[in-house]
Chain A
Amino acid sequence: MSDHPHFAESRDTVAIRTVRTHQFFSMVILVILISLFLVYVALSLYQSSGTLQLDLSRPGYDSARQEATKDKEVFNGFSGDGPITKEALNEFDTLYKKKAAEALIDIDAFSGDALSDSALALDQD
């Protein structure tokens, strides 16, 4: 009885009629749902890709942001095209030594000591 085409048609008609009578409202609801889904996807990507950890524009990172914007020097690097000559090798040598010196500067980056019991005064009597 319920599978009768006439009844199915009348049910569809009610649903379609509701949307048709509230077209603008239905569109607003649909747009909100789509935008919520897209925001969810964007935030998931932001978190899973590791961008979250590198984002210094987050609240509470003012000092880190200020430090990061100090160095705005543009480094063009070494050209990948052209012949290999003594001059080219000397140019690379100069550029590499400069950057290597920056990388090998004596900063004990990410040393475990910063989280040790003594650093947090948890081992004192």
Chain B
Amino acid sequence: MVAALLLGAGLFVSAGQAEAAATITPEKMARIRSRCVENQAALNRLHQTDAFLRNDRGNLYRTISDKLMVPLNRRLASNQLDGGALLTITADYNEAYTKFYDQYIQYDNALTKVLEIDCTREPVAFYNALLTAREKRNELSKTNQTIKNLVRQYGTTFTDFKTAYDKEHS
């Protein structure tokens, strides 16, 4: 039973690899080789830009949570006001940030692997590593969008809260 499962898994993995490798035509391999130097330079630049972007966005996202969302939630709680909706968004936001943190590490490792491969000598390995890095980058991008949506959502929920408060205390 276990052997059959392992065999099945093995076939599935090799089918996946074959599918990934099948997209690399001889023409594409030739292009990978001919554009190797330019692409390595471009990927190196992208690696640097991403490191800066990760630091910049990461600091900003942390500031929004630690210096704005959390203090407001605490203040609302200490004044016995209902900030349940804001609290839920903050929890989702922090969860999304943790995901963003982990996914960037995975993406950076994937891109580092691409940069380590000599695309002139190993175009297939280079392209497969590139596909993995692309997938990791897409996941990271989605989580980044989730964080931005939660920032928007918190702003809207706060505006609703403020409007209700102003109406009640006018």
Most central of A80, A109, A110 by chain B CB within 10 Å? A110
Q: Enumerate chain B residues within 8 angstroms of A53, measured Cβ to Cβ.
A: 51, 54, 104-105, 108-109
Is B165 interfacial (CB 8 A cutoff)? Answer: yes
CA distance A56 to B70 in the complex (A): 28
Alpha-carbon distance between A124 and B58 when the two chains are bound, in angstroms: 36
CB distance from B97 to the nearest CB of A (A): 12
Q: Are B76 and A84 in contact (CB under 8 A)?
A: yes
Interface of B is mostly: helix
How many interface residues does chain B have, given as a range? 35 or more
Report if A50 contacts B (CB, 8 A). Answer: yes
B: residues with CB less than 8 A from A are: 27-28, 31-32, 35, 38-39, 42-44, 46, 48-58, 60-61, 63-64, 66-68, 70-72, 74-76, 78-79, 81, 101-102, 104-105, 107-109, 127, 130, 133-134, 137-138, 140-141, 144, 147-148, 151-152, 154-155, 158-159, 162, 165-166, 169
Pairs across A and B, CB under 8 Å, 29 listed: A50-B105, A53-B104, A53-B105, A54-B54, A56-B52, A56-B55, A63-B48, A64-B48, A68-B52, A75-B63, A77-B63, A78-B71, A80-B74, A81-B75, A86-B166, A89-B165, A96-B64, A100-B152, A102-B60, A103-B151, A104-B152, A108-B141, A109-B53, A109-B57, A116-B134, A121-B35, A121-B38, A122-B31, A122-B32
